[in-house]
Structure 1
Amino acid sequence: MLTPVALIALAAYVAAIVRVLTFRRQGARHRRHVSWIAWALVVVMGGSAIELALHAKSVGIFEAGSAVLLALFVFGVRGNVARLLWSNES
């Protein structure tokens, strides 16, 4: 059975994965290295979600907090991993 903390972390990982996977370029340049980083991000978050589902008792408040923060960052840039990595501000 998933604890409430594990459920929060799992929901955050799944939401962030879905947001990265549903990103639309809309005229932005294709950067191959950013695509690889986005792929790695989805793989790591997916692996974390699977591990979380299998070993829910070992989830702490800090892991759930980092999952929620990562999801907030991904949603803040609307799934654009390039904007997550580099700032446009001078």
Structure 2
Amino acid sequence: MICIISYFSGAIRLVCFQRDGHRIRRGVSLIASILIGTLFCAGLDIVLQHPHVSFFQAVTSGLVCLFIFRTRGNVAALMRITD
């Protein structure tokens, strides 16, 4: 259940990202679209097929969701490497 909530909430947060003056970069937009599709399909796969989800998959999906919400859905900030 944790994986389903994490995947769907992360995908919805990415879809609801407000630019607020940030410029549009095609590469980052493409990566964001791929990430949204991947998260949505992963959550849908668990809902429809009911596979066994391991503890580590649940932790990974929770961390991805946490990072997405921490950056407020900004994929460019997710990809940024700072010292």
TM-score (norm 2): 0.93
CA RMSD, Structure 1 to Structure 2 (Å): 1.1
Q: Residue 58 of structure 1 is aligned with which of 52, 56, 65? A: 52
Structure 2, gaps ≥5 residues long: none
Give identity over the alignment, percent: 34
Listed as ranges, the matches of 1:40-79 within 5 Å are 40-79=34-73
Q: Select the structure of larger CA radius of gyration.
A: 1
2:12 matches 1:18:
yes
Structure 1, gaps ≥5 residues long: 1-6
The Cα offsets for residues 4-56 of structure 1, whole Å up to 9 and x where unpaired, read as xxx11100111101110000000111000000000000111111001111232
State the alpha-carbon separation in 1 of the partners of residues 36 and 51 from structure 2.
23
State the alpha-carbon separation in 1 of the partners of residues 59 and 77 from structure 2.
22
What's the counterpart of residue 4 of structure 1?
A: none
Q: Residue 29 of structure 1 is aligned with which of 6, 23, 27? A: 23
